[in-house]
Structure 1
Amino acid sequence: MFIQTEATPNPETLKFFPGRVILSDGVAAEFHNAESAAGHSPLAAQLLTISGVSSVFFGNNFIAVSKNTGEWEHLKPAILGIIMDYLMSESSIVLAPKSDRDGTEEFFNSADKELVKRIKVLIEERVRPAVSRDGGDITFRGFENGIVYLNLRGACAGCPSSTATLKRGIENLLRHFIPEIQGVEAFQ
């Protein structure tokens, strides 16, 4: 089995491409510690036991691993070994999906329902695919007083350029198509 790796705009995150589907298209899962992964993803739980690994994000055809300490040249062999062994076992990557919402419901005024529908379509069709190419994911969380709130995950979370991406890229795109939007903020 050959697993390709690719740098992301976030120097603390690498993408691993095992050459097979990881999760269904449009589905993503993220884990920040072995305890949160337990019962949901044995692969994520194993990767999170590596000293220095801070999160694991599963996309359609990739696994994005983020670190908080250590150098990639030391972490990469252990990560590759775990991914390779796990995928050779043909076990499921995610057993029981965690909620995409992490306990947070969307918020917006019911009078903005049609506007929110248009925002979500733009995010799904134009923004999410581009963010996925960089090893991350972005989801709609809310709309209030002209501000769109988005949740950044994977390589996007903690990326030095995520603010620029939100403000210059995503905000400009959404405002171009939906003039009622006054701004875009990361949902905390």
Structure 2
Amino acid sequence: MPNVTAVIPTPNPLANKFMLDAPMFSGAPRHFASPKHAMGDALGESLLGVPGVIEAYCTAEFITVTRHHATDWDMIESKVIDCIEAYKPKRVIGIAREDGASASAPAAAPAVEEAPIEVEADDPEMLMRINMILDENIRPFLDKDGGGIDVLRLQDFTLTVRYKGACGGCPSAVTGTLFAINNLLQSYVDDRLQVVLD
């Protein structure tokens, strides 16, 4: 069971990154933007059940929690840590059979993962190059700050993106980071590209 080793402020004053000493789960990150998005996920439901928590972005190594602007971290930080440290992912237990093979007990319902985003693109090859640039040059840095970015659409040289985790609502992500992404993609992909937020 992972424990929280540190709570790190992010560039977003409303979001903190809770570092873990062991992987929380395997698979894709989970993003809970509201209690509705967390339904069916024990970790998401417990985090968004803490009064004052409005969003959670969960990876194997860290969890970024965004608070309501009227809520102080002093009021919720220990409750968030308790939710994280109480989370016990369900494992399938192997049961030995007489023939020496292993059978598994019925598996618990799988954890809810963020649904893959179907990206609308009028130029799939350009979209592939954009994602490659984002994977190499942008996503690792956003991840370090407790956030991420999804590409939603590429139409007529306009790339529509959405931030998640600490990047959502962060003043520097909305201005400086978006400007940097725009310049990078114009330099390495196509100078007609314009990056906009959803």
TM-score, structure 1 as length reference: 0.85
The answer to whether the aligner puts 1:53 opposite 2:53 as a matched pair is yes
Asked whether the equivalents of residues 30 and 153 of structure 1 are also in contact (C-alpha less than 8 Å), the reply is yes
Change beyond 3 A, Cα 1:90–1:164 = same
Structure 2 residue aligned with 1:97: 113
Alignment of 1:35-54 (within 5 A): 35-39=36-40, 41-54=41-54
Computed over aligned residues only, the root mean square deviation of the Cα atoms, in angstroms, reads 2.0
Alignment of 1:52-71 (within 5 A): 52-68=52-68, 69-71=70-72
Paired positions, count: 177
Asked whether the equivalents of residues 33 and 45 of structure 1 are also in contact (C-alpha less than 8 Å), the reply is no
Overall identity of the aligned pairs, in %: 25
Structure 1: gaps spanning 5 or more residues? none
Partner SS state of residue 138, structure 2: helix
Structure 2 residue aligned with 1:74: 75
Q: Distance in 1 between matches of 2:178 and 2:4?
A: 37
Amino acid paired to 1:71: D
TM-score, structure 2 as length reference: 0.81
Q: Distance in 1 between matches of 2:161 and 2:34?
A: 23
Higher-Rg member (1/2): 2
Change beyond 3 A, Cα 1:176–1:58 = same
Structure 2 residue aligned with 1:19: 21
Structure 2: gaps spanning 5 or more residues? 92-109
Structure 2 residue aligned with 1:108: 121
Change beyond 3 A, Cα 1:115–1:12 = same
Post-superposition, which runs of at least 4 consecutive aligned residues in structure 1 deviate over 4 A? none
